[in-house]
Chain A
Amino acid sequence: MRFLLVTALGLVLLSLASVFSQMFGMMLTRVDVVVALVVFLGLRANTSEGALGAFALGYMLDVFTGRPTGLFPFLAVLTFLLVRLAAGLVDARSRATYALFVSGATLANALLATFFNWLTSSKEDSPVAISLAGLPMQVVLTTAAAALLWPLLRRFDPANDRPEAGVLL
């Protein structure tokens, strides 16, 4: 149920982010709503449900890019696993900790995307410096969006049934 809710929310948020990015003339900066949701799954969902949810969210992001390659489902599942591991070290029950997790995940996700993009394309087709130029603003905007989303996301988890932290299996 939570998987379906988060996936549906992901579709709505991706549509909103797409329209607002165009409206505000953003070329290099995006609000990475998928990362915010994947981090939530990493902190609150169990492994199977969270990995499936992360895959579904990454798949939708891939479709939304206009040129789906499979990179974003992979990165979403990887981010989910990294968050699950990190959640074993930090107790992330508050809005502030969640936002902190999201900023770290956004940074890692964008760096990995740029790296893989650079790895698989010709030199002139992957201007790394330009790709990273919008990253600081992307981290700030995504963190702010995550902080705003926190009350809504908590509704998906009314019992606060946080699984045993950091356990993959």
Chain B
Amino acid sequence: MFSLLTRFRELLLVAALLAYPFFTYLSFGHKGRAPNAVDRLILALAWPIQKSLTWAVESTSGTFNGYVALRGSHQEAAECRAELSRSKAEINALEQARLENERLRNLLAYTETTVEHDIMARVVGVNASSNFLSMRLDRGEDDGVKVGMPVVTADGVVGQIVRSVGSSSDVMLLSDASSRIGVVVQRTGSRATVAGGGGRGTLSLDNALRGDELTDGDVIVTSGVDGIFPRGIVVGKVEQVQRQPSSLFLQAAVRPAVNLRSLQEVLVIPVPVVTGPQALAAPPGGLR
């Protein structure tokens, strides 16, 4: 027996190295797995390389761009001051709306508490396979980033955290084929679902009824019913609305508000704890 094992050890080794991952793949398939000690070690070793390389490249381009930008800086500063004044006025108006919203929410017995402040993170790389669209951030569970937290920029939704270890985390982009987000049309309040296009430039709008009043250019925002994204974050704009007589639903594309190709910094939002009637009504998971 032992001599047989010795004789065929290479064959057995190769067979084991083929069979183990193959059956793991068939068993756990598309779900992925939680990071184990080896995964954490690999990510911990890769993190300094990615971080330092990103820093070096950004410093170099920052120095060059800073020099070039000096020429128009006076005019730009004046424009920024004007923009700041306008923004302050808008913030004041929004603050009033927030207070009113809070009063109404209390009346309806809703409670929503944000656990912590938003976590700012820097993008240090994209993942190594184009079958799954995700990016790596330089903040992880040491910084309070947890799986499931939504990721946004000032422009809108970026995606959702799918893995968080030590000092880094991975965010599944809203353009990934398995991404789903509950949305509403800002102008009409119609509900729908935005699905990732898997690398296409646009996303697709699902479950929007054919009778819904929807036109090109309508802004789509998160509905908050998926229990993941807070309400009112911009997802994108509607394009190419098509209504077919034989279908109950209309077809439309959504141009993402965020340019996913040039992301540098993002905000990770600690998941709000929602209780009250809405939490009970919320369907499970906006992102599969």
Contact = CB atoms under 8 A, between A and B. Distances in A.
Contacts of A51: 13-14, 17
B128 A11 contact: no
Closest 8 A/B residue pairs (Cβ): A18-B125, A25-B261, A70-B24, A66-B170, A67-B32, A73-B21, A70-B25, A64-B128
Interface string A15-35: 111110111011111100010
A48 interface: yes
B39 A23 contact: no
B175 interface: yes
Interface of B: 8-11, 13-14, 17-18, 20-26, 28-33, 35, 38-39, 42-43, 45-46, 49-50, 53-54, 57, 123-136, 162-163, 170, 172, 175, 177-178, 195, 197-200, 260-263, 288
Nearest to B129: A65
A125 B178 contact: yes
A124 interface: yes
B162 A67 contact: yes
Contact of A71 (B21, B53, B123): B21
A96 interface: no
Given A78-B18, A117-B131, A138-B130, 9 more contacts: A11-B46, A25-B261, A52-B13, A63-B43, A70-B20, A71-B21, A73-B21, A127-B198, A134-B199
29 contacts: A11-B45, A11-B46, A14-B128, A15-B125, A16-B49, A18-B46, A19-B53, A22-B124, A54-B17, A63-B43, A64-B42, A64-B46, A64-B128, A65-B127, A66-B127, A69-B31, A70-B20, A70-B24, A70-B28, A71-B21, A73-B17, A121-B30, A124-B195, A126-B198, A130-B197, A130-B199, A130-B200, A138-B130, A168-B14
Given A19-B53, A19-B57, A68 B32 contact: yes
A8 to B, nearest CB: 9
Q: A52, A60, A66, A71 — which one has the most chain B CB atoms within 10 A of its CB?
A: A66
A81 to B, nearest CB: 7
Contacts of B45: 11
A70 B128 contact: no
A19 B125 contact: yes
Contacts of B128: 14, 17-18, 30, 34, 61, 64-65
A103 B184 CA distance: 46
Given A15-B50, A19-B53, A81-B14, A70 B125 contact: no
Given A19-B54, A25-B261, A74 B136 contact: no
B126 to A, nearest CB: 4
Nearest to B178: A125
B77 to A, nearest CB: 29
A12 interface: yes
A124 B200 CA distance: 13
Contacts of A66: 127, 132, 134, 136, 162-163, 170, 172
Contacts of A113: 129, 131
Nearest to B133: A27
A133 B131 contact: no
Given A18-B125, A125-B177, A127-B198, A169 B33 contact: no
Contacts of B131: 65, 113-114, 117, 131
Interface string A62-93: 11111111111110011001000000000000
A156 interface: no
Given A66-B163, A66-B170, A133-B199, A127 B130 contact: no
